[in-house]
Structure 1
Amino acid sequence: MTATASPLHLRLPATSANLGPGFDALGLAMAFYLTIDAVAADDFHIEARGRNADLCGDAGNSLILTTYASVLGANGRPVTPLHLDLDNQIPLGMGCGSSAAALLTGVLLADHFGDIGWTDQQILEEACRREGHPDNVAACFLGGMTASSEVEGHVVTATCGKNLAWSFFVALPSASLATEKARALLPPSYSRADAVANVQNTALLVSAFALDRGDLLRTAMQDRIHQPYRMEACPLLPRLLPLAGSRGVLGVALSGAGPSVLVIAESGAADALPGIIRAAAGDPGLEIIQTTIAGGAFVQR
């Protein structure tokens, strides 16, 4: 496509993957966003606002633009320079799906400005392949609570829970944690007992979201596959896990690979929860994002 390609407007939600036991399989879209308006230009340029604007505005070191150019090159398309007007509300390196949103943005930009003509399924699978696992990307693209699996190179998904009235809180510690470092903490294998426990809890967790059964979350969000091994690198988690099942808190889990922690609560408990979370964390200045379940990516051509 030439430089006369129409502008592209994108809004992609933050995501929280795993939700406890659903390791690399479950993701939740949350209502704070990466928003981009893209137009063809003579040179690459990013005008960035919001969180981590200095990093997001670095056109020479942008995961969005690197992905965009890589997808175009792999599909034999010329690389049209872009001007991006970017507003980012997703914390970087905090387990809130910033890399999934960036990768999906790059793929969507390439499909549009390169006139590749992919279906939504092809866009999803390309972004999942580049991320290495489908949980965040699938939730970011489709919204709600999305379960996903990769089967012979194809991504199979199912989404539920978009209209739940639960309250969601993301507690953000001051230091970030790279996903690669978090994955390096995991063991190479697991016992049958741990694997079975996670299968059971994941089945309950999907049922909780599908059936609006918040009473299941205290049990359903318990994990034996990744959270026990990430406690030391994510010290906020052991402080907040005991909140589950009390004071209106339905469940607690790492958000993605951490270090942020996701707290799900009854809607009636929302006003009191920030203070309760800060007290449990022992940090009166702890940043907390209160949010809701989001729909999927919004694309306007």
Structure 2
Amino acid sequence: MMGKWQIKVPGSTANLGPGFDSIGLGLSLYLTLEITLQDEWEFVHIGDNVPSDTTVETHLVYSIAQQVAKQHNKPLRPCKVEMASELPLARGLGSSAAAIVAAIELADILGELDLSTQDKLNISSQIEGHPDNATASVLGGLTISSMDEQGIVDTLHIQEIDAAFVVFIPNVELKTADSRGVLPDQFDRGYAVRASANANMLAASLIAKDYVRIGRYMEADLFHEPFRAQLIPNYAEIHEAAKSAGAYGTALSGAGPTLISMIPLHVSEQFVLSMQKRFPAHKIVLTTASPSGSTVTAYGW
């Protein structure tokens, strides 16, 4: 067995408006793990976007990797894991899904599990509870997915997205559980039909690459954004300013509090400068759809 690997997993945005728990987009912002075999487990965190108060036993990557290995009745060889992330925690950019996918890749390496891509989609989505962020981190690009009662994931994957994305990251955390807590338990039939129609149109527009329509339906969600908007700093102001600056559309990134705008490639630099001036309390990040999903590179002995 080789002795050193790099695992690189893209972060993601989920929903893009009405694609609730089913549409994901891998972003060119990454969680990176450098893996070296050694006699004991060790985690080294580099930078600000990784937890500082965790032990080996309580580490999400360790616990998920061990869980996956146990399901396959395989032991894991101990290793040193050096972990760095471009994904701020609890901001709606798929940091937990990326960590879960990285853990599955780690288990696959150290336990020699020989997992297929479909296995990785199923396991990560089952752990997350829904397939939006997880499938985007496994595959990259755009994913439109469903998961059945047995936890089997079906995904349509679109690699090329001819647009840029700008994320507005506020200096506040919002746990997914808190953001889900404001959602209604049920909708009446007419409301649900309208919400479903908007989601269908978003998915169809994404497949057709009709960016004007994508933007329209990104902003037509009825499933979650009307209820979460109150939790999001500058929600209405960012929507309005982004539209005025040329964005196709703006939506919550996952459960928030980050917002994401899809913009034409040619306006990206000007757009970012304008938004930085308008919203100095937010971190404004320009990115693109990730060209690939999770990758594992082996090197050295």
What's the TM-score, normalizing by structure 2? 0.91
Q: Is the 8 A contact 1:218 1:245 kept in 2?
A: no
Structure 2 residue identity aligned to 1:91: P
Say if 1:285 and 1:68 are closer, same or farther in 2 by CA, change over 3 A: same
Unaligned runs of 5+ in 1: none
Q: Is the 8 A contact 1:201 1:219 kept in 2?
A: no
Structure 2 residue identity aligned to 1:284: P
**Offset from partner CA, 1:187-232 (integer Å, 9 cap, x none):** 1001223322222222222233223211112321121110111112
Give the equivalent residue in structure 2 for 1:212.
209
**Offset from partner CA, 1:165-204 (integer Å, 9 cap, x none):** 3120010000111111111111100122332222222222
Q: State the 1:137 CA deviation.
A: 0.3
1:168 aligns with 2:162: no
Q: Greater shift after overlay, 38-47 or 224-233? A: 38-47
Q: Is the 8 A contact 1:236 1:261 kept in 2?
A: no
Q: Is the 8 A contact 1:149 1:155 kept in 2?
A: yes
Give the equivalent residue in structure 2 for 1:93.
90
Q: State the 1:78 CA deviation.
A: 2.2
Structure 2 residue identity aligned to 1:172: I
Q: State the 1:26 CA deviation.
A: 0.2
What's the TM-score, normalizing by structure 1? 0.91
**Offset from partner CA, 1:2-60 (integer Å, 9 cap, x none):** xx554332111110001000000100110010111212221111222233245387534
Q: Greater shift after overlay, 25-34 or 227-236? A: 227-236
- Paired residues in the alignment total 295
Which structure 2 residues correspond to residues 266-285 of structure 1 after superposition, within 5 A?
266-278=264-276, 283-285=279-281
Separation of aligned partners in 2, 1:168 and 1:56? 32
Q: 3-state DSSP class of the match of 2:269?
A: coil
Q: Percent of aligned pairs with the same residue?
A: 30
Task: State the superposition RMSD in angstroms.
Answer: 2.0
Give the equivalent residue in structure 1 for 2:230.
232
Q: State the 1:70 CA deviation.
A: 1.7
Say if 1:57 and 1:288 are closer, same or farther in 2 by CA, change over 3 A: farther
Structure 2 residue identity aligned to 1:293: A
Say if 1:236 and 1:245 are closer, same or farther in 2 by CA, change over 3 A: closer
Q: 3-state DSSP class of the match of 2:248?
A: strand
Q: Is the 8 A contact 1:19 1:26 kept in 2?
A: yes
Unaligned runs of 5+ in 2: none
Separation of aligned partners in 2, 1:54 and 1:195? 39
Q: Greater shift after overlay, 76-85 or 175-184? A: 76-85
Q: Is the 8 A contact 1:167 1:270 kept in 2?
A: yes
**Offset from partner CA, 1:64-121 (integer Å, 9 cap, x none):** 1111112222332224222112221111110000000111111111122112222221
Say if 1:193 and 1:243 are closer, same or farther in 2 by CA, change over 3 A: farther
Give the equivalent residue in structure 1 for 2:253.
255
Q: Is the 8 A contact 1:172 1:261 kept in 2?
A: yes
Q: 3-state DSSP class of the match of 1:116?
A: coil
Q: Is the 8 A contact 2:216 2:248 kept in 1?
A: no
Give the equivalent residue in structure 2 for 1:242.
240
Give the equivalent residue in structure 1 for 2:289.
293
Separation of aligned partners in 1, 2:272 and 2:71? 46
